[in-house]
Structure 1
Amino acid sequence: MAQSPLLETNSHNAGDTKNRKSNWRRLVWDSWDKPPEERKLILKMDLTLMTFGCLSTFIKYLDKSNLQSAFVSGMKEDMSLYGNEMNYATTAYAVASIIGLWPCNLTLTRVNPRWFIPFLEIGWTILTFCQSAMTKATHMYVLRALVAIFETGHFSAVIYLCGAWYQKKELARRVAIINITTAIGPMFSSYLQAAAYNGLNGAHGRAGWRWLFIIDGIISLGIIIPQVLFYPDVPARQKPDRLFSEREIELARDRNPKEGRVKQGEFTMKQVKRWFFTLDIWLLWLISFCNDICQQPMNSMSYWFKAWNTIKPGSYTVAQINNYTTPIQAVIVILTIIMAWSSDTFLQGRRWPALVFASTSAAIIFLSLASTPVFPTHRAGRWILYYLSGFCQASSSLFWAWTQDTLSGDPATRAFASAGLNVWAYVADATIPLGIFQTVDQPGVVAGNYGAAGFAILHSLTALTLAYVQHTRKQGEADTIEHSDDNDASDSQINKSGATVGTLAV
């Protein structure tokens, strides 16, 4: 029986209402419009992968950024660091990271992260305690290199796990939330250093900056323990445990079919060739390289406050130098959320628009920093420029998600490419600051700001190039499938015609 126009219209309106409601739910959080069983699974994934990813990344960046906080809070004077020692420490950290990154991430494709990731965290926590006893620059170089050996690959390992569990339109938001802690960690480090300097400076014969390392280490220990009990493996290797049932594991595998049932065995020559001869990987690495350089100008703000004390003694206290820089990280948090939610929702999983927006905005800001006086009569304008200098860091979660999207279905290549994102970021850390962001030139790094603007433009062009390459490839694959379907249809028609003719002949 034909449906009446009125019923058809009502049905259509009801469907539209349901779709609008579903779209609004998905816009806020992607699991809210899923079936109950799937929603429960995603909740468990979020409670483990997201909670541990955020906490462990938080302590990593808390421990990683405490050197900068300590430097402007008395360590410079106590250890006589009046040259480029901070640059050399950064280079030592970066070189050690580069050496360890690929072995670390490729190891994760073969071992259980429940043991591997906490092992790394225990290592860098012990070394964080050791940094409280530094007395000279050599100690700083050695300890920063050792810290890097344990910290290397941690973030890329966490994102690698997320890429195995989450779907494409769920990933950028999760990576962004984890990435937010890379901003919250330094922010918290600044507040901790201010509190340690004011409340503990001189306690038990230790300077306030030394207490910062001790407090950071204590915080880190409390975060590590739960991970040994609940950290999940990738779905292909995950076994039923106290958290995930067999049915939930199967659902997780079905939700991400390219990765869900792929177990990485021995590395093959075909994979190794793909590691080094895939254009997409090199373009993603170039984006990461540029992105890291574009994060350098924001570091100048603490030096800027400290330099004002030379021009006009007493301009800023140690606590103010630490606290007044933290809104940079707050702005990064807001921008990260906006760009990631946009990518996963109305941009339909596309990563390049937000990346181009971020790096173009950054280029404008860096050019403004480079072309205006470092110590102007009115400080507000430059103050605001520093606060807005984190656009590229805010967009970094998108090229991490883009890497997982692009290489889904090949765990070793995905792990290798993810580690490479950090390798090339550390290459930038180890080289570029020594040339155009030297400590002795801070905060007047005019060449550095112009250079960062140039790399921001290259960042935009590379993202556009990768988007074009992938769009062209996808269009070519679609045309091939369509052509194949047309041939199949023609063959079918010929067979049918032949059968008819044969029947008539009989």
Structure 2
Amino acid sequence: MSSTHQVAARDEKPTSAYLEKGSMVNEKPSALENADFTGAVSKTDPEEIRLVRKIDWRLMPTLCTMYFLNYTDRNAIAQARLNNLEDDLGMTGVQFNTAVSILFVGYVLMQVPSNMLITRIKPGMYMSAWMLIWAVVSTCTGLVKSFGGLVACRFFLGITEAPFYPGATYMLSIFYTRKEVATRIALLYCAQILATGFSGLIAAGVFAGMDGLRGIAGWRWLFFVEGAATGVVAVFGFFLLPNTPLTTPWLTPAERELAHARMERDKIGDSTEPVSAMEGLKQACRDKRTWLFCFMQNFHLSACSFNSFFPTVVKTLGFTTTITLVLTCPPFIFAGVAGIMTGWSSGRMHERTWHITAGLTVAVVGFVIAASTLNTAGRYIACFIFPVGAYSVNSVIIGWASSTLSQTKEKKAVVLAMTNVGGQIGYIYGAYLWPDTDKPRYGIGFGASAGFALLSIVCAWIIRRLLIKENEKIRASTSEHVNLYEY
């Protein structure tokens, strides 16, 4: 058998009972107390509970703050558009769409090489260094004088921002078990959702208080202010981000050993020994499930292509720039709450497919309503519905890919990058689904987004069927107590 289909006969020290959708798998009834659907063990040891809480309070605020700024910097162009960015740079036609799209070209090119490297170096130092570089590039965007300069800055911003998200999800996957990771990825993703919403409030404040200050346009000040804030946080990242459970300075020696041991215990049944970075890439590419996750995330983020055009869509309600920017915030607060709740529920129930189906179905309803009416109240209600549905499932998709394709840490790192690359490609062409010629209804963008959401649901059900078959093979091939795939 291939490495991705090997059973876990080598797993010599089973530590818990394992269940498959509620039924016991070769386990004594007395083990039911600590068992869950697919083998992830419920924490009952007070020391482990304290450890996870400590990791939460040290790791999650740092990563969430960094990711908040990651999205604030890339989304600044959406707010800058409402402060005469296009007029000041002499932009016409689809040039703004190109400026949005080009960032994701750089983003896509850098992610897989970056995550191949991250398993060989100190990820905390690596991610902080890249954050400092993207802070400089973001700040320089405020200095551009032409469309060409803007495109160049956006391209390099994509390259420098690319290592962070797949690196952050990889870091979460080496500190948290399968039962825990979906909720933490949801919290991380919530930072991105809130950044999309609060960036409007930040921009409203900058434009109201600094537009024309020292003869500099408000949109330029926006890039300066946000870039400077990112640089400050990047410096703190060098001291706050850990690298591995066994080398984390703010854990005691006993806590480091426990953090490492519990991750070893949580490995999937067909896990293998570490391999080279290139072999990890080959393992990921040979596994057909990798490509299905890439397609699912691609369709999902294609449906989320409204992200950079959300202020433009809200502007069709007919309000002033300041009011428009303020109105962009509430929908994303709701979307952030929905993302956390969905991630928590998915992790607790060890269920992925139905959570993805439910969330994206809500998004489809929102897209249809938004495309169907220009009524102010109706369209603004739709602007709550489709972000809530679309953004609620990202942590489920990424957590599912991480736990399913984690036979080696090298493969897992590459898979996380490839899945994110697949998604970001959707943003490249998605930027052209919202042309000015289609306003105010934007039927092309909303219609395409609804179709992409449905395709993502289809991918989830195909993966579910494959994993059911994989679990049947594992159970038929060994009498050992092994972890099975979640679906």
- Report the alpha carbon displacement of residue 259 of structure 1 after superposing the two structures with TM: 7.6
User: What aligned pairs does 1:210-359 form with structure 2 within 5 A after superposition?
Assistant: 210-235=220-245, 238-239=246-247, 241=249, 243-257=250-264, 264=274, 266-267=276-277, 269=279, 271-297=280-306, 299-307=308-316, 315-345=318-348, 347=349, 349-359=350-360
CA contact (8 A) 1:259 1:408 kept: no
**Cα separation, partners in 2 of 1:118 and 1:392, compared to 1, 3 Å:** same
- Report the alpha carbon displacement of residue 31 of structure 1 after superposing the two structures with TM: 12
Does residue 204 of structure 2 align to residue 194 of structure 1? yes
- Report the alpha carbon displacement of residue 91 of structure 1 after superposing the two structures with TM: 2.3
CA contact (8 A) 1:96 1:146 kept: yes
User: What aligned pairs does 1:1-16 form with structure 2 within 5 A after superposition?
Assistant: none
CA contact (8 A) 1:300 1:442 kept: no
Rounded Cα–Cα distance in structure 1 between residues aligned with 2:102 and 2:255: 44
Rounded Cα–Cα distance in structure 2 between residues aligned with 1:354 and 1:59: 28
Question: Which residue of the partner structure matches residue 500 of structure 1?
Answer: none
Rounded Cα–Cα distance in structure 1 between residues aligned with 2:444 and 2:315: 20
**What letter corresponds to residue 85 of structure 1 in structure 2?**
Q
**Cα separation, partners in 2 of 1:168 and 1:334, compared to 1, 3 Å:** same
Rounded Cα–Cα distance in structure 2 between residues aligned with 1:141 and 1:168: 40
Show CA shifts across 1:428-482 (max 9, x none). 1112332x32244344321222222111111111111111211121022212335
Question: Which residue of the partner structure matches residue 383 of structure 1?
Answer: 380
Q: Which runs of 5+ in 2 are unaligned?
A: 1-31, 482-487
Show CA shifts across 1:331-352 (max 9, x none). 211211221121122x2x2222
CA RMSD of aligned residues (A): 2.7
SS in 2 for 1:82: coil
CA contact (8 A) 1:110 1:264 kept: no
> Which protein has the bigger helix share?
1
Q: Which contiguous aligned blocks of 4+ residues in structure 1 show a shift greater than 3 angstroms?
A: 30-34, 258-265, 297-301, 304-308
User: What aligned pairs does 1:443-482 form with structure 2 within 5 A after superposition?
Assistant: 443-481=440-478
**What letter corresponds to residue 350 of structure 1 in structure 2?**
E
**What letter corresponds to residue 338 of structure 1 in structure 2?**
M
Q: Which runs of 5+ in 1 are unaligned?
A: 1-18, 309-314, 486-506
Show CA shifts across 1:23-47 (max 9, x none). 9xx9xxx999643322232133213
Question: Which residue of the partner structure matches residue 166 of structure 2?
Answer: 156
Q: Which of 60, 68, 71 in structure 2 is aligned with 1:61?
A: 71
Question: Which residue of the partner structure matches residue 104 of structure 2?
Answer: 94
Rounded Cα–Cα distance in structure 1 between residues aligned with 2:44 and 2:142: 49
**Cα separation, partners in 2 of 1:135 and 1:276, compared to 1, 3 Å:** same
**Cα separation, partners in 2 of 1:64 and 1:264, compared to 1, 3 Å:** farther
Q: Which one has a bigger Cα radius of gyration?
A: 1
Question: Which residue of the partner structure matches residue 366 of structure 1?
Answer: 367
**Cα separation, partners in 2 of 1:297 and 1:66, compared to 1, 3 Å:** closer
CA contact (8 A) 2:98 2:431 kept: no
CA contact (8 A) 2:63 2:168 kept: yes
**What letter corresponds to residue 253 of structure 2 in structure 1?**
E
Percent of aligned pairs sharing the same letter: 21
Rounded Cα–Cα distance in structure 1 between residues aligned with 2:43 and 2:101: 47
Rounded Cα–Cα distance in structure 2 between residues aligned with 1:403 and 1:301: 28
**What letter corresponds to residue 353 of structure 1 in structure 2?**
W
SS in 2 for 1:233: coil
**What letter corresponds to residue 140 of structure 2 in structure 1?**
C
Does residue 122 of structure 2 align to residue 115 of structure 1? no
- Report the alpha carbon displacement of residue 301 of structure 1 after superposing the two structures with TM: 4.2
Rounded Cα–Cα distance in structure 1 between residues aligned with 2:234 and 2:42: 30
TM-score (norm: length of structure 2): 0.85
Q: Which of 181, 186, 190 in structure 2 is aligned with 1:180?
A: 190
**Cα separation, partners in 2 of 1:321 and 1:56, compared to 1, 3 Å:** same
**What letter corresponds to residue 339 of structure 2 in structure 1?**
T
Rounded Cα–Cα distance in structure 1 between residues aligned with 2:310 and 2:48: 46
Rounded Cα–Cα distance in structure 1 between residues aligned with 2:61 and 2:41: 16
